[in-house]
Amino acid sequence: MPAPRNTLKAALRAGTPQYGIWLNTGSAVLAELAGQAGFDWCLIDGEHGPNSVTELVPQLQALQSTDTQAIYRIAVPEPWLIKQVLDMGCQTVMAPTVDTPEQAQALADMMRYPPLGKRGLGAAVARATGYGTQTDYLDNADDEVCLIVQIESREAVGNIEVIAAIDGVDGLFIGPADLAADMGYTRDPAHPDVQVVIHDALKRIAATGKSAGFLTFDPSTAQTFTDLGVTLMGVGGDVAIFGAALRAAKAGIA
């Protein structure tokens, strides 16, 4: 069998909004619940959650029984981290704090095999190939991987168009909290000055033809951002949702 079709990548290329949530708990059970809830994607967070590559695998297995696509956010924008994620069978990677086209190019290179890129040829022992049983995986693997880079600084905002122009970058995702902090509003990402920059940045990303991404923990505002051209729309996270449900349950018996 060749590499499976990345339906998330296909939908983003078609401009179809895709809605998902962050997974920070490291729980395969919650990943499975999120998939069964019908989200288009779940992001397994290796930057701010206890999700090493080892913890990634059971969550991928849990999501595999659903139609929900997995994204894995690497801890830092280091190209070498990508090869493990892809070999484990996660086809979509998000990289945080990508400020320059040079950084984006190095990450894109690691997503694809030579001659298009620099991905190491370890497919024969990788989960992505059924541990070597899918001998034609290499035939289309490059076509089905998806790279999302995060724009989280003023420098990155200034470089949106040149980053988006990198072949192999499929989407640019605004990180509102870190961008706000870089602008001097660490405790106030909702500040009007920050919001002006975010709204302009999302419109500029959409204008490049690449997917624009954003995360809000208030699902009622999601439509505002899809109207700006966002197609990779995060609408919450497992910690916030589960925590709120627990507190509501406790309040009901207090």
Q: Is residue 111 part of a domain?
A: yes
At residue 64, does pLDDT exceed 70? Answer: yes
Q: Is residue 1 part of a domain?
A: no
Catalytic, 48? Answer yes
* Residue pLDDT, tens place only, 88-126: 999 999 999 999 999 999 999 999 999 999 999 998 899
Q: Are 215 and 176 in contact (CB under 8 A)?
A: yes
Please, which pLDDT band fits residue 35 given cuts at 50, 70 and 90? very high
The label of the residue with tokens 């939908």 reads 11
Q: Is residue 110 part of a domain?
A: yes
Q: How much is the pLDDT for 76? A: 97
Q: Is residue 108 part of a domain?
A: yes
Alpha-carbon dihedral angle through residues 182, 95, 173, 168, given to the nearest 10 degrees = 130
Q: How much is the pLDDT for 219? A: 84
* Residue pLDDT, tens place only, 154-202: 999 999 999 999 999 999 999 999 999 999 999 999 999 999 999 999 9
The number of folded domains in the chain is 1
Q: How much is the pLDDT for 218? A: 87
Taking the CA atoms of 20, 35, 237 and 155 in sequence, report the sign of the dihedral they define.
negative
At residue 254, does pLDDT exceed 70? Answer: no
Q: Is residue 164 part of a domain?
A: yes
CATH number of the domain that residue 95 is part of? 3.20.20.60
Q: Is residue 254 part of a domain?
A: no
Per-residue tokens: 38: 């019908």
Among the listed residues 5, 16, 37, 48, the single catalytic one is 48
CA distances to 67, 106, 210 from 167, rounded to whole Å, are 28, 11, 10
- Domain with 46, as residue range(s), is 7-249
Q: Is residue 244 part of a domain?
A: yes
pTM, to two decimals: 0.96
Q: Is residue 2 part of a domain?
A: no
